[in-house]
Amino acid sequence: MAKAEQEELVRMLDELGRVTDEPGRLTRTFLSPAMERANQLVGGWMREAGLAVREDETGNLIGRLEPTERKSQTPDANVQTPDPKTKTLLIGSHLDTVRNAGRFDGALGVLLPIVVLAELRRRGVTLPFAVEVLGFSEEEAVRFTGAYIGSKAYTGRLRAADLKLADARGQTLREVIEAHSGRRFTPPKPAHRRSSVLGYIEVHIEQGPVLENRRLAVGVVSAIASQTRGRLAFRGRAGHAGTTPMNLRRDALAGAAEFILFAESFAGARSPLVATVGTINVPSGAANVIPGETVVSLDVRHPDDAACRRAVGQLIAQARRIARRRRLSFTWQPTMRHRATPCSPPLTAQLDRSVRAVQGESLALVSGAGHDGVVMAEFTPIAMLFVRCRAGLSHHPDEHASPQDLGLALRVLLDFLQRLAVNHSGKGR
Ligand code: GLV
Ligand code: MN
Ligand code: MN
């Protein structure tokens, strides 16, 4: 693939990276104004590449390319009726971001396939299967603590319990979706029959340092680590910071702080376990008030399910002990649990062949980060391509993948689609 496509991808990543809810830094959260603008921008690029574009009620952006070009006035989904026998390959990632994010996490996996499909179109190559490029509306769990709203909705796995999740302003997921669409929301059925889907491919920056250490631009993912997230609430008694002697306090924040340091040293001694407290909320906090309540988040990950479960149990037991000793009440509310997710061996082997063809060698990695692939794997076989990122840095504005590495990843996906097309035609549809 020519340098022009590589430069085009970099330009798109830069432009999308400027679409933000917060001036001066990149933040896009579920169904926010910036997410709407991102969908318009990316939807425009999808149309230019010949895809029919639609957005579902949960803000997922979906661009579909039928196997053969159909003659129609406008390339929109509502004027095309997909052939029921058509198989569809899904390729995508998420368009939401963390707060103060980098430009690559999620965006790369949506934009890269658009560039590849545009290139196939320029070459006059048609594929014997349909391709849907997916820009999921929510993966990062920033606005609502349960992640993967987009891929859950797309695969028909959004549950009544998810709709009750509330954001920081107390608006529930249902309310946010209904305010956006202006209609009563019923969780959708899966976007496809399972049997009509060939699989799901996600291209993502590695978000870790392994590829860089091995001096490789890309690698394939063998599995995604097991993950549990939740909220710990410590409750004591608020009081006057000037008049309450230290020995008579029941300080909820001090209890939470003791737990945070425990979690750090606990995980630190049990590699590859990782445990993170990423948010602290002192609801009525003020400089002159002893904190009566503190809620912290906890995120625990391990490549092995049982080890992850065991660690969460030990961490929560210790939190209870800390609370008891400090005369605090304590509650633990899990908000997300995902088992370790193996990628599909046959689909990954095909992706691996393309990596070897383009890069000369390949490398299999376990992903410590969560991905929409976790939810998609319950619906269809998945494979993931990781792209080296500078210093393994991610969830940070300095997140960076080099144009050369992006160029290589473009060639890998192009090669993968062409090989899949040959296999698919060979089997006879
Ligand atoms: C998603 O980026 C996650 O792994 O937290
Ligand atoms: Mn992320
Ligand atoms: Mn991501």
Distance 289 CA to ligand 3 centre (A): 39
Ranges of residues in the chain with a pLDDT under 70 are 69-84, 426-429
How far apart CA 105 and CA 101 sit, in angstroms, is 8
Contact 356, 343 (CB under 8 A): no
Distance 378 CA to ligand 3 centre (A): 18
Q: Identify the pLDDT of residue 416.
A: 98
Ligand that comes closest to the CA of residue 106: 3
Contact 17, 130 (CB under 8 A): no
Pocket residues: Cβ below 6 A from ligand 1: 140, 369-370
Ligand that comes closest to the CA of residue 369: 1
Distance 298 CA to ligand 3 centre (A): 19
Going by their DSSP bridges, the two strands 130-136 and 88-94 should be labelled as: parallel
**H/E segment holding residue 262:** helix 252-268
What's the number of CA atoms in the CB half-sphere (13 Å) around residue 315? 35
Distance 108 CA to ligand 2 centre (A): 12
Ligand 1 atom having least distance to the Cα of 395: 2
Angle between helices 107-122 and 3-16 (to 10 degrees): 140
Q: Identify the pLDDT of residue 254.
A: 98
Q: Identify the pLDDT of residue 425.
A: 77
Tell the residue number behind the tokens 């707060």, with chain if given: 99
Ligand 1 atom having least distance to the Cα of 368: 4
Q: What are the tokens at 369?
A: 């980060």
Q: Identify the pLDDT of residue 84.
A: 64
Query: Rounded to the nearest 5°, which phi and psi values hold at 218?
Result: -140, 160
